[in-house]
A and B are shown apart, each in its own frame.
Chain A
Amino acid sequence: MSGFRIGVDIGGTFTDWVMADPDGGVQVVKTPTTPVAFTGVFDAMDAAGVTGDGIRSFAHGTTLGTNALIERRLPRVGMVTTKGLTAVLTQAARGAKEDIWDIYHESPRPSIVKPRDRIEVTERTLSSGEIRIRLDEGEARRAARILAARGINTIAVCFLHSYANGRNEARMKEIILEENPEALVRTSHETVPRILEYERFTTTILNVALIPLMIDYLHVLEQGLRDRGYDGDVLIVQSAGGLMGVEATTDVPVRTANSGPSAGAIAAREFGSLAGFRNVIGLDIGGTSTDVSVTLEGDVRTTETWEVEWGHPIMFPAIDIITVGAGGGSVAWFDPGGRLRSGPRSMGAVPGPACYGKGGDQPTSTDAHVVLGNLRPGAMLGGAMEVSAELAERVIADKIGRRLGSGAVTAAAAVIAVAEANMANAIRLATLRRGMDPRDFALVSFGGAGPFHGARVAAELRIPTVVVPPSPGLTSALGCLMADIRHDLGASMFYGEAAVVDIAAMNARFDAMDARVRAALDREGIPPARQSVERSIDMCYAGQWRVFRIPVSPGITPASLVESVDLFKQMYLRRFTFDLGPREVEIHGVNVVGTGITEKYRPRPVRAVPTVDPAPDSRPVYWREEGKRIDTPVWQRSSLPVGFRTAGPAIVEQMDSTTLIPPGVSMHVDGFLNLILDTTGDGGGS
């Protein structure tokens, strides 16, 4: 066996492992996520008899960063900052509220750097880049010694206006390293040289905090792969949807903080596109959460500043994903007002839902699915797990039914309805709140639990079509194999007016960034022919705040800059339908995106071959659309040929997922073996 491309997606509950062979065939392994991240993966590799020399590439989507940030399993971080200006971090989230009216809604949690560990030093840089006060070296050394005495070895250096001139920050870093060679130090200007101190400082702090974790994590992964004979690159999916090598990832691990969901978003775009859709909503439901992404006209929507935790912005591009705590392991509970709620607390893989029989004693969505007959009890994941109907029924009846005064079945239906309302709301936030109508989209429903809910959530929002990819539970892992390598660099650079820019300085800055991303691509083994670097300038009208990113070619000249300004004005006119006439255009920043084109996995069309007519099993399933149990045909997915058609109520089972086709929804199998569900028939909704 050789030439495999391997994608691994480690989620909160399951670890998914896919192996694509050169002919487009795919082998899959799904194991519970283990506390030691890769044990399950390596065991699976060994069990499958795959050795490293058979692997051509290895790409990985990880939730390490996400989980570490949410759970704050981070080293103690110290900060050295400009004297007198310690309120920058105290003014958490720049003072804003997540829910503007609800004072009891949780405030943003304070910065991970406690006020006591923010050490002040005398220095001052101005917005022009002029250094008004040079770093006081005596104070700097004292600050370094205080942090060392407290045993703090992870340090962010964050000075005001360092994006305009990083000299004081750089000197501070040198001094810390002289005093404490063990320290891990990052300055804010080297992390992200952009204006806005709260955002830049926060990004710098979160990044430096993740570095030690990421180094340890990738070391284990790399070592395990080397031990098995693999000597190629290990690529990590970053939040913006591209891949990065180990070196780049350990330098800016904060860029991977949304890695897992991003791989899913890429896969949603690709599978949606295979089924013929350029507007796609990705609905990725795992054990812990639901992640919603939006692809508009073939492009996954991205954002420039985002956050894992509200109030803690990360100043790097990322795929715009709405996450809510609604997954298979989400716990159903009653709020103080007596309303039934679901999530965000999840039982994860350990102990897991009650029906797993591993000590879980809380009612979860998965338990409700078992009670309703949606999920077949007995052996699961090829015998890796045993699902008990008895345990599911008991926990739903005891914890939910008793309170509602109903039997287990009615209670289970209510649990699922509440969870699906949360999922639908996430889609509303991602589309309606951003001016898009969900009915103009197809829903790609994946993740182990996605196909349970896709049809009903789509019907609720009147999304006409649902696409269920061939291996829903492994779709994110496949997404790892569908991305290119990508490096973004950017900097705030201010020029009062485009007309008086120091063009030579700008070109020099561009060339330096260009060389940096090409060097990174070289190190990742991307030959020059497969490298591309795009440059852009951020422009805005003087006195305004909204920048447009204008693509530029290498070697800017006065004439080309005039063209860029004209392009900016055209874009502005298109967006705002008016122009500001002779107002000056300012330059606010420069950006470089380097792409390394990878060989991607592409599913191949399956030729329709005449097969034996598939025959369904059946079992009683409760359909809330009908308010009763109905003897429902249960199809094995592997038996369904291209062109196969049926209508709900029906269930399609496969190793990693179960697709529910409610009454009123029809289904067919397309040429890539996607299930295509049509929700426009009558009776799909209430």
Chain B
Amino acid sequence: MNPKASHQEVAPDVDPVTFSILSSAFVSLVDEMVGALQDACLSFVIYVGDVSGGLLNARGELVAQGTRDVAVHVGALQPSTQSVIEDFGEEEAGIEEGDVFAFNDPYRGGTHLPDMTFISPIFWDERLVAFTATKGHWSDVGGATPGSMNALAADIHAEGLVIPPLKVVSRGVVRHDVRNLIMANIRIPLNATGDLIAHIEAARVGERRLHALIRKYGLDTVLASMAEALDHSERELAEEIRRCPEGTWETEDFIDYDPQAPEDGPVRVSLKMTIRHDPPKVIYDMRGSGPPVRSGMNGTHGSTFGALVAGTKYIFPKPSMNAGWLRIIEAVFPETSVVNAIRPYAVCGEVSGAYEKTTACIQRVWAQVAPQRSFAGNFNLEYVVAGGVDDRPGRHDAYFVYYHWHTGGWGGMYGADGRDCGAAIFGLGILNQSSEVIERMWPVSFDRLAPVTDSMGAGKWRGGAGLESVLRVENAGGVRLSYIADRGEDGPGGPRGLFGGSDGIPIRVVKNLGTDREQDLPIYFADEFIGQHGTFYHVSSGGGGYGDPLERDPEAVLEDVLDRYVSLEGARRDYGVVIDVGDDDLLDHRIDIEGTRVLRAQLRAAGPNEGEQKP
């Protein structure tokens, strides 16, 4: 490409050094906003990373995302901001300097209701030049269950407070009536008020930073760099797509069932991908997907598009994501479906349901095009939300909401095993929550937190191990538990293997395991009462395996046996590796080389494992 020609597209000319400084300054501006939000928030969930932010241009197009953002939020900030413009852009005194808008409407670009977005315009010399947005998962936004994660909600109104673009700060002044209306519908208004202040403060940080950049470089240069950032990302992704073959590929996956109609069986999510070179495009067609369900497993247009975008970004991690990047991606949705639910279908569990299935489809469809960039299935995202009254001394009988996500196994990939007990793979910057902090914060404790033997799919590169946990309710009253996951024991199976690798185990959840009050729980439930000292037992899936397990290095299998990731029986059954057992304390086990050779030959003769074969 002629560099002079590309410069002429941008007026005024931005020199490459200034552009490189400003484009990283945009990202650090977002990181700083998110940092300020995490510093000042009161929701523990936001603090440990269920948060994101963006810088958008005056048309509401995404210019920059932060470096630790949550994937689920990706792609949502742009339509959310555009909803604000749609509602207020033409109004008298609609969008003014110092305003902050709250927003969480899932059908207009939001994700699920607890993901509260705060959008703020930035002015310079009375001209609207940009928007900033921060999005954080609040501990509670009302609705039928504590924590607002009600898998059994029949419609959106059972899930919590729906907020269309709503001006909570007008010209720098908080509108108390509006704030009070929000807080009146929320279980822990004190925390929510702190979070609200933190979001407003984050918006101020973003404004100050952008103003400083404009003062230093001039408005024209900053705006030109914002435009160039989009073109630059578009060019980078276009280049990657041109290196892929043209063609069409398809795959599908399933949500276990509609909890309101389990007898209807698994719910289909379907993906057909077309790659074109001229102009470079990736077209995702989801029209084969099933109808919406009467529970919160649906995805909306915004969240499913976010899944397509995030999934693609995993295959092409280098180009930075913004509206220019999005120009390459085209999505075709069925009119109303589980991946494109409309009002009033419920959506709170979308991340476990339609979102997760869509990303799994992306991995699988890209595995056919770029087997060395894709990976086998990951453990399904889960939400554990408990609410009740904290009866510990000094806690003043305060109402609490405790929200947890577990770790689990990642899929095996080309050349490496999946990660053992990793945080949700599409959770991105999310950290596993510290048990010591949880036990200090809330009246709960852990009896167990351990990796699970044989939980992962076998493969030349195995899946990562799943996690087993026992959560115990301590000194607390009226504790109710809600849970949302997918790929449970009653569904079609665990995370899927790739190229001959086997599947990870499905999720299992049990109340009061090992007592006379033991009770198996379904994969989606809400408002399950757990008494004092009652327990919640849970096993998350291991990841799917990648490649034929009989090709796995026997030494690697022995290492896994010594570390209890794989049992002796599993080594024989799944890998055809026979191990001579030595002293259990010394762990001086050895590979029976001849026995392994014979067993592997037998297993090969018996036929390959099921699973998608390499193209």
Q: Is A78 located at the chain interface by the 8 A CB criterion?
A: no
Please give, as numbers and ranges, the residues of chain A lying within 8 Å of B446 by CB-CB distance: 84-85
CA distance A686 to B407 in the complex (A): 48
Contact between B40 and A95, CB atoms less than 8 A apart: no
Please give, as numbers and ranges, the residues of chain A lying within 8 Å of B38 by CB-CB distance: 545
Contact between A96 and B42, CB atoms less than 8 A apart: no
Shortest C-beta distance, A104 to chain B (Å), equals 7
Of the candidates B216, B375, B440, which one forms a contact with A494 in the assembled complex, judged by CB atoms under 8 Å apart? B440
* B55-63, B264-272, B558-566: which lies at the interface: B558-566
Q: Is A376 located at the chain interface by the 8 A CB criterion?
A: no
Q: Is B301 located at the chain interface by the 8 A CB criterion?
A: no
Q: Is B108 located at the chain interface by the 8 A CB criterion?
A: no
Q: Is B413 located at the chain interface by the 8 A CB criterion?
A: yes
Please give, as numbers and ranges, the residues of chain B lying within 8 Å of A544 by CB-CB distance: 40-42, 194
Contact between B17 and A460, CB atoms less than 8 A apart: yes
* B4-12, B331-339, B415-423: which lies at the interface: B415-423
CA distance A99 to B41 in the complex (A): 25
Contact between A85 and B413, CB atoms less than 8 A apart: no
Asked whether A103 and B587 contact (CB < 8 A) given A115-B565, A197-B434, the answer is: no
Q: Is A301 located at the chain interface by the 8 A CB criterion?
A: no
Contact between A127 and B440, CB atoms less than 8 A apart: yes
Closest to A431 in B: B28
Please give, as numbers and ranges, the residues of chain B lying within 8 Å of A145 by CB-CB distance: 585
Of the candidates B201, B419, B470, which one forms a contact with A107 in the assembled complex, judged by CB atoms under 8 Å apart? B419
Q: Is A228 located at the chain interface by the 8 A CB criterion?
A: no
Q: Is A90 located at the chain interface by the 8 A CB criterion?
A: yes
Asked whether A96 and B36 contact (CB < 8 A) given A101-B314, A103-B314, the answer is: no
Of the candidates B32, B414, B586, which one forms a contact with A435 in the assembled complex, judged by CB atoms under 8 Å apart? B32
CA distance A91 to B394 in the complex (A): 32
Closest to A200 in B: B436
Q: Is B189 located at the chain interface by the 8 A CB criterion?
A: no
Of the candidates B47, B436, B451, which one forms a contact with A545 in the assembled complex, judged by CB atoms under 8 Å apart? B47
Of the candidates B27, B44, B67, B450, which one forms a contact with A87 in the assembled complex, judged by CB atoms under 8 Å apart? B450
Contact between B428 and A97, CB atoms less than 8 A apart: yes
Asked whether A90 and B451 contact (CB < 8 A) given A432-B21, A432-B24, A494-B440, the answer is: yes
Q: Is A512 located at the chain interface by the 8 A CB criterion?
A: no
Contact between A149 and B585, CB atoms less than 8 A apart: yes
Asked whether A195 and B39 contact (CB < 8 A) given A432-B28, A578-B197, the answer is: no
Q: Is A613 located at the chain interface by the 8 A CB criterion?
A: no
Q: Is B439 located at the chain interface by the 8 A CB criterion?
A: yes
Contact between B428 and A116, CB atoms less than 8 A apart: no
Contact between A462 and B17, CB atoms less than 8 A apart: yes
CA distance A97 to B424 in the complex (A): 10
Asked whether A434 and B436 contact (CB < 8 A) given A104-B373, A115-B451, A115-B563, the answer is: no
Contact between A116 and B564, CB atoms less than 8 A apart: yes
Shortest C-beta distance, B137 to chain A (Å), equals 15
- Count of chain B residues near A, Cβ 8 A: 76
Contact between A161 and B585, CB atoms less than 8 A apart: no
Interface SS of chain B: helix, strand, loop or mixed? mixed
Please give, as numbers and ranges, the residues of chain B lying within 8 Å of A543 by CB-CB distance: 42, 191, 194
Contact between A107 and B431, CB atoms less than 8 A apart: no
Please give, as numbers and ranges, the residues of chain B lying within 8 Å of A461 by CB-CB distance: 17, 21
Please give, as numbers and ranges, the residues of chain A lying within 8 Å of B465 by CB-CB distance: 90
Contact between B564 and A126, CB atoms less than 8 A apart: no
Produce 1/0 per residue, B539-579, CB < 8 A to A.
Answer: 00000000000000000000000111100000000000000
Contact between A116 and B437, CB atoms less than 8 A apart: no
CA distance A567 to B375 in the complex (A): 52
Q: Is A562 located at the chain interface by the 8 A CB criterion?
A: no
Asked whether A101 and B562 contact (CB < 8 A) given A149-B586, A460-B17, A543-B42, the answer is: no
Closest to A101 in B: B317
Closest to A107 in B: B419
Shortest C-beta distance, B585 to chain A (Å), equals 5
Of the candidates A96, A103, A685, which one forms a contact with B431 in the assembled complex, judged by CB atoms under 8 Å apart? A96
CA distance A435 to B24 in the complex (A): 10
Please give, as numbers and ranges, the residues of chain A lying within 8 Å of B191 by CB-CB distance: 543
Contact between A96 and B429, CB atoms less than 8 A apart: yes
Asked whether A88 and B435 contact (CB < 8 A) given A432-B25, A546-B39, A576-B39, the answer is: yes
Of the candidates A146, A149, A462, A576, which one forms a contact with B36 in the assembled complex, judged by CB atoms under 8 Å apart? A576
27 A-B pairs whose Cβ atoms sit less than 8 Å apart in the complex: A87-B451, A92-B422, A94-B423, A97-B422, A97-B423, A99-B317, A100-B67, A101-B314, A101-B428, A102-B318, A103-B317, A104-B414, A104-B416, A105-B317, A115-B564, A126-B445, A145-B585, A163-B436, A428-B24, A432-B21, A435-B209, A437-B216, A461-B21, A544-B194, A545-B44, A546-B40, A583-B194
Q: Which 6 A-B pairs have the closest CB atoms?
A: A95-B423, A95-B432, A102-B317, A101-B317, A115-B563, A84-B448
Query: Which B residues form the contact surface with A (CB < 8 A)?
Result: 16-17, 21, 24-25, 27-28, 31-32, 36, 38-42, 44, 47, 49, 67-69, 191, 194, 197, 201, 204, 209, 216, 313-314, 317-318, 373, 375, 394, 407, 410, 413-414, 416, 419-425, 428-432, 434-437, 439-440, 445-451, 465, 467, 469-470, 562-565, 585-587
